[in-house]
Amino acid sequence: DTEVTQTPKHLVMGMTNKKSLKCEQHMGHRAMYWYKQKAKKPPELMFVYSYEKLSINESVPSRFSPECPNSSLLNLHLHALQPEDSALYLCASSRGEEDEAFFGQGTRLTVV
């Protein structure tokens, strides 16, 4: 299994909703990442988990809350988002922080 799987593929949510994005990998990778990508822009790093501990938080607003329940799973909890948070949310993983990153297909989030 060489994939990073993200669910759901698409999500539409209201500004008062609470939702979660899920990311899963079974490659034994110990580092996992959340990126945000706006249309026609490069991915921007949000969070880094290394050995299930949060190691980098790139000054992301608290309405985004990451969680790493175990080494294979990474969640991103969303609450009270704004329309400008609409974007493609990408999960990635790597064997270690010094290794190559592999991305999932992303969740296309629309906030209405």
Are 110 and 86 in contact by the 8 Å Cβ rule? The answer is yes
5 binds another protein (CB under 8 A): no
28: left (phi over 0), alpha (psi -120 to 50) or beta: left
Q: Which residues pair with 62 in a beta bridge?
A: none
Question: For the window 81-110, what string marks contact with another protein as x by the rule CB under 8 A?
Answer: -------x-x-x-x-xxxxxxxxxxx-x--
C-alpha span between 26 and 73 (Å, rounded): 9
Comparison of 63 and 103: residue with beta carbon closer to another protein: 103
Comparison of 46 and 81: residue with beta carbon closer to another protein: 46
Site for another protein in 14-43 (CB under 8 A): 31, 33, 40-43
Element spanning 48, H or E = strand 44-50
- Interaction site with another protein (CB under 8 A): 4, 6, 31, 33, 40-45, 48, 50, 55-56, 88, 90, 92, 94, 96-106, 108
